[in-house]
Amino acid sequence: MTEKTTREDPERTGCGKLILAATPIGNLEDMTFRAVRMMKEADLIAAEDTRNSLRLLSHFDIHTPMTSYHEYNRIEKAYELVRRMQEGKNVVLITDAGTPGISDPGEDLVRIALENGIEVTSLPGACACINALIISGRKTRRFCFEAFLPAVKKQRQEILEELKNETRTIVLYEAPHHLKKTLSELLETLGDRNVTLCRELTKIHEEAWMTTFSEALQAYENGEKTIRGEYVLVIEGRSSSLRREEEQRRFEDMPLREHMQMYLDQGMDRKAAMKAVAKDRGKTRREIYQALLE
């Protein structure tokens, strides 16, 4: 009786599949047994930087052929890799460090593979975003991930303006030579927030520094702290209660009848408009009714 095939052992007569394998972000001991085995069994490894990945493969005695897949060939090479998989080859995608498809061109390969009927699976492992978040001391239930802010000034400012009212914990990546500039922009746009600066994740000198934008900038300026390594910024979201208070103050400056008329002009009946006004101002509907009578 033929043994039933599994996701990890597809029939070689059919299409191959795309396997996303997480690699260590610092400590080589974080490489999983499963990732090593799958990379050894694959027909081809697509790597962001083959020279960098060669050291990893050598360390784990992996001799599978490699090909480059990076930002500058992400579309053309994706179709070439899909053709290989359609011929029955299994392809493992790796990035320089961490989980492929997170803030790298792997997302394009995944999309194109799925559009062409290729099975895609992932091997869990290191991810700087998650590692930093869980050691940050910030709230983890709800968070948003922005990776690196755009380099283009206009796009960058648009993202920062969107983040101004974000109530979830915010996770950003930043290179050491841009860190002070980014902290200054965050301070100017978001106000002085609590932030945890994580660096050297999984390495000997791993650090999660709970601070504020202004305190961090001052420490870097006076030499109290030295900027080294890649950074993950885990930023406290905007307080929902503070946001409501600011909205209430904004509406308090608007004449009450003008506020009512704003909702009536939107097609609300008087009762619904009064309820909306009461919510905006943090009042009861009865209080609004009495104020309108006066």
The pLDDT tens digits of the residues spanning 267-293 come to 888 888 788 777 877 778 787 767 777
What is the average pLDDT across 217-225? 94
- pLDDT digit string (tens) for 232-245? 999 999 886 666 66
For residue 4, pLDDT over 60 is answered with no
Higher pLDDT, 286 or 129: 129
**pLDDT exceeds 80 at position 137:** yes
User: In whole angstroms, how far apart are CA 21 and each of 24, 47, 69, 189?
Assistant: 10, 10, 14, 37
For residue 273, what are the contacts with CB-CB under 8 A and spacing of at least 6? 260, 263, 264
Per-residue model confidence (pLDDT) at position 11 = 44
Handedness of CA 71, 22, 133, 198 (dihedral sign): negative
Domain boundaries, the chain: 17-126, 129-238, 241-293
Cα dihedral 50, 26, 21, 48 in deg (nearest 10): -30
What is the spatial distance between Cα 271 and Cα 255, in angstroms, rounded to a whole number? 18
Residue 106: pLDDT band with limits 50, 70, 90: very high
129-238 and 17-126 share a CATH fold: no
Res. 150 pLDDT band, cuts 50 70 90: very high
CA 27 to chain centre: 21
At 250, the pLDDT band (50, 70, 90 cuts) reads low
Write out pLDDT tens, residues 162-173: 999 899 999 999
Note the pLDDT of residue 247: 65
Arithmetic mean of pLDDT, 256-263: 77
CATH topology of domain 17-126: Cobalt-precorrin-4 Transmethylase; domain 1 (3.40.1010)
In this predicted structure, the answer to whether residue 44 has a pLDDT above a threshold of 80 is yes
Q: Please, are residues 17 and 84 in contact by the beta-carbon 8 Å criterion?
A: no
Specify the CATH class of 129-238 in words.
alpha beta
Q: Tell me the pLDDT tens digit for each residue of 64-95.
A: 999 999 999 999 999 999 999 999 999 999 99
The tens digit of pLDDT for each residue in 11-29 reads: 444 789 999 999 999 999 9
Checking if the pLDDT of 8 tops 60, the result is: no
